[in-house]
Structure 1
Amino acid sequence: MKYFIEHKLLNYDGSQLQSLFAYKNFGLMGDSISVFRGSCRVEQNEMVDMEDVLAKDWIYSEDMLHFIVEHFDMDLEKAIIRQRLLIATIKEELEKFGVKTLSRSGDDLYEEDKKLSVSISTLSPVSSMIHCGLNVSKLNTPIPTIGLGDFRIQDVLGFGESVAKHYCDEVLSMRLARCKVRGVS
């Protein structure tokens, strides 16, 4: 599993959640996590979450830290489990910065009723994919939110790299755990 940190601003509109995103944009072939910063505006035509589509919701943030994860298997349940692992990893990394006020509900992080994250898992024709965005700023969001800026995270991409490393280490650890046990009959 590899990761890439994009240092140029890259806005997210939902179209980036596509197979081979990391390979096409950053040269990362295989299982990967891409980290970048930019605004987020996902309109109805790019929504993957049908619950949001039916509710006519939309997603907007002026400044967000984005993670796009791609695994080359086609198991949606496993993708959702990995998505929740990513969210738990983000929470653990924030706790290293002294942030102890967040709670996880499913695939999102909250401080009381203020939402820090957006997240979705889906399948592409060749892979399973995850997008997770963390608000950096809470300005002009359509719902009550909290941002990394509220937690005084100044090196946003550095924080993203810590999350990416931690996630890659977890995935490797799980793969190695499969190799150390004998079968039982």
Structure 2
Amino acid sequence: MRYYIHQNPLDYDGSQLQSLFTYKNFGLMGDSICVFRGKCRVEQNEMVDMEDVAAKDWIYSEDMLHFIVEHFEMDLEKTIIRQRLLIATIKEELEALGVKSLRRTGDDIYDGDRKLSVSIATLSPVSTLIHCGLNVSNHNTPIPTIGLTDLQVHNIYEFGENVAKRYCDEISSIGLARCKVRGVV
């Protein structure tokens, strides 16, 4: 598992949640996590979450830190567990910076009733994918939100890289943990 940090602005509209996104755009092949920053506007036609589609919701943020994770397996349940691992990793990284007011509910992070994150996990024809976006700014969002700048996170790319490293380390550690135990009868 490897990561890539893209430091030029790149907006997210949902179409980036596709197989081989990181390979096609940045040359990183295999299981990966890509981190980038940009606006977020996901309309109905790009929504993956059918509850959001049914509710006619849409996602918007003027400035978001995005993570796209791709694993070349076809197990959606395992990917949802990994999605929650990513969210827990983000929360732990914020706690390491001194932010103690957050709570994780499923695949989202909140400060009180203000939402920090959006996240979805899905399947592609060749892999499973996770998108997670963290508000950097909470200006003009359609629901009550909080941003990383409100939480005093000032170096956004450094924070994103720290999360990516921790996630890769967790995935590697899980792989090693599978290999160190003997079977029982």
- TM bucket, shorter chain: over 0.9
Q: Could you tell me which residue of structure 2 aligns to residue 156 of structure 1?
A: 156
In structure 2, C-alpha distance between the alignment counterparts of 1:55 and 1:151, rounded to whole Å = 30
Matched, 1:8 2:8: yes
Which 4+ stretches in 1 moved above 6 angstroms?
none
Gap regions ≥5 residues in structure 2: none
SS at match of 1:145: coil
* Sequence identity percentage: 77
Q: Could you tell me which residue of structure 1 aligns to residue 44 of structure 2?
A: 44
Q: Could you tell me which residue of structure 1 aligns to residue 34 of structure 2?
A: 34
Number of equivalenced pairs: 185
Letter in structure 2 aligned against 1:58: W
Q: Could you tell me which residue of structure 2 aligns to residue 57 of structure 1?
A: 57
Q: Could you tell me which residue of structure 2 aligns to residue 18 of structure 1?
A: 18
In structure 2, C-alpha distance between the alignment counterparts of 1:116 and 1:61, rounded to whole Å = 11
Q: Could you tell me which residue of structure 2 aligns to residue 90 of structure 1?
A: 90
In structure 2, C-alpha distance between the alignment counterparts of 1:98 and 1:54, rounded to whole Å = 38
Q: Could you tell me which residue of structure 1 aligns to residue 168 of structure 2?
A: 168
Q: Could you tell me which residue of structure 1 aligns to residue 134 of structure 2?
A: 134
CA distances 1:125-148 after superposition (whole Å, capped 9, x unpaired): 000000000000000000000000
In structure 1, C-alpha distance between the alignment counterparts of 2:131 and 2:92, rounded to whole Å = 18
TM-score, scaled relative to structure 1: 1.00
CA distances 1:83-139 after superposition (whole Å, capped 9, x unpaired): 000000000000011000000000000001000000000000000000000000000
SS at match of 1:22: helix
In structure 2, C-alpha distance between the alignment counterparts of 1:132 and 1:157, rounded to whole Å = 15
In structure 2, C-alpha distance between the alignment counterparts of 1:152 and 1:9, rounded to whole Å = 21
RMSD: 0.3
In structure 1, C-alpha distance between the alignment counterparts of 2:117 and 2:151, rounded to whole Å = 14
Letter in structure 2 aligned against 1:94: L
In structure 1, C-alpha distance between the alignment counterparts of 2:2 and 2:164, rounded to whole Å = 9
TM-score, scaled relative to structure 2: 1.00
In structure 2, C-alpha distance between the alignment counterparts of 1:162 and 1:17, rounded to whole Å = 22
CA distances 1:39-77 after superposition (whole Å, capped 9, x unpaired): 000000000000000000000000000000000000000
Q: Could you tell me which residue of structure 1 aligns to residue 81 of structure 2?
A: 81
In structure 2, C-alpha distance between the alignment counterparts of 1:95 and 1:146, rounded to whole Å = 15
How far does residue 152 in structure 1 lie from its aligned partner after superposition? 1.2
Matches within 5 A, 1:88-127: 88-127=88-127
